[in-house]
Amino acid sequence: MVLTERERLDWLRLARTDHVGPVTFAGLIARFGSAGAALERIPGMARRGGSRQFVLPDEGAIAAELER
């Protein structure tokens, strides 16, 4: 599988999200079709699950990590 730069960023951002391990990561990709789509849905899922302080990893920090 070849990922675009955007997909690479989304995959790493999803992988760095709190409480998303390998099994959850694979399940989210399977359910939503892409890491980007999963990232859009996770905050709502977290709210429905009772999390009030859920924050996705900062996109800029993830981009900097990829640059390194």
Count Cβ neighbours within 10 Å for each residue of 21-36 and write b for 16 or more, e otherwise.
Answer: eeeebeebbeebebbe
Q: Domain ranges in the chain? A: 5-67
pTM: 0.90
DSSP H helical segments within 16-51, as ranges?
22-32, 35-48
Question: What was the pLDDT predicted at 25?
Answer: 97
Question: What was the pLDDT predicted at 41?
Answer: 96
Q: What is the pLDDT of residues 17-60, one digit of tens each?
A: 998 999 999 999 999 999 999 999 999 999 999 988 889 999 99
Question: What was the pLDDT predicted at 51?
Answer: 87
Task: Identify the band that residue 1 occupies on the pLDDT scale cut at 50, 70 and 90.
Answer: confident
Contacts of 31 (CB under 8 A, 6+ apart): 38
The whole-angstrom separation of Cα 45 and Cα 3 is 26
